[in-house]
Amino acid sequence: MSAAHGKVILLGEHAVVHGRPALAAAVSPGVEAVARDAPGEGLSLHVAPWGAVFTAGDGTDLGRGLAGLARDLDATGARLDAVMHLPGAKGLGASAALGVACARALSELRGVALDDARLLDIALAWERVFHGNPSGVDHTLAALGGVGVFTKAEGLRRVATRAPVVLCIGDTGERSSTREMVALVASALARRPAATEKTFDAIAALVRNAALALEAGDARALGELMDLNQVLLSSLMLSTERTETLCRAARAAGALGAKLTGAGGGGCVIALAGQREGEVRAAWEALGVPCARVEVGA
């Protein structure tokens, strides 16, 4: 059984697509996959709990991704079975985790050695099928795990944490298209380049300070920086009324900070719960919001 992590972006969404840093952390469990020989067949993927089957070249995004894996790993005549522990289209890196887990499973089946660099190349090609112009955060955390600052130019720089960071993840119930949200921000950049670049620079400053707060174990400062990041993401039209409702409810329940995570336009909200995890969960559950607890960091 091969596995890959999901992810949360603590700060830095979208700015990271345009060369700025993002602070992100892997979450587990993510996706598990196993590959078996299927002589005389192409490459197929059976996904639980979706109860769906995809084949290489079937015209779907997953079919196109599988075609890439079949080419890169000489993986025809194989069947993949994957178990998803992450919701799709919610900003938690589900597609990247699926691609990494499947690539690892196929490489083991075929006896192909995959170092990190080769795995990341294959996973990036997979992500481009789904997201067009991905930042690189998702597939890097899916493959490598941990917590760190990511940039397109330099990849992942690990950030040491003094203690685990407890997050509540709430699902807005609104599906989000990363491709559409990335295109929305690109359109804003084209229309208002100076203002949008300043917003990216402001987000980058928050990320740098958040990494320092994380290293110092200063949860209150980290939460305040998350809140400021949410304001800037909202200014890029990436938030929704439901997202803002969840953020307000979490803060009112004692969360140190709350913001969207991932592409925006729906998806999930993360709250830095601190000692108020129970209160945050109760506040979200009162709104009918599915909620999970994750620990990231040391």
Domains by residue range for the chain, with CATH: 2-157 (3.30.230.10), 160-296 (3.30.70.890)
| DSSP structure class, residue 18 | G
Q: Position of tokens 């481009």?
A: 128
Reading the block at residue 123, the tokens are: 């996973």
**Is residue 33 within 8 Å of residue 101, measured between CB atoms?**
yes
Q: Position of tokens 């089957």?
A: 53
Helix axes 178-191, 116-131, angle to 10 degrees: 80
Cis preceding-peptide flag for 49 (omega within 30 of 0): yes
- List pLDDT tens digits, range 23-52: 999 999 999 999 999 998 899 999 987 889
pLDDT band at 298 (very low <50, low <70, confident <90, very high): low
- List pLDDT tens digits, range 204-257: 999 999 999 999 999 999 999 999 999 999 999 999 999 999 999 999 999 999
For residue 275, CA distances in Å to 165, 166, 197, 225 come to 11, 9, 36, 18
- List pLDDT tens digits, range 55-99: 999 999 999 999 999 999 988 899 999 999 988 878 899 999 999
- Among residues 61, 74, 115, 138, the one annotated as catalytic is 138
**Rg of the chain (C-alpha set):** 19
- The more confidently predicted of residues 158 and 177 is 158
pLDDT over 90 (residue 112): no
Q: Quickly count: other Cβ atoms within 10 Å of residue 236's Cβ.
A: 20
- Residue 289, judged by CB atoms within 10 A of its CB (0-12, 13-18, 19+), counts as buried
Kindly report the backbone phi and psi dihedral angles of residue 70, in degrees, each rounded to the nearest multiple of 5, phi listed first.
-60, -40
- List pLDDT tens digits, range 144-171: 999 999 999 999 999 999 888 999 999 9
The reported pLDDT for the residue numbered 100 is 98
Spatial distance between the Cα atoms of 31 and 95, rounded to a whole number of angstroms: 9
The reported pLDDT for the residue numbered 247 is 98
Active site residue 116: no
**Is residue 210 within 8 Å of residue 10, measured between CB atoms?**
yes
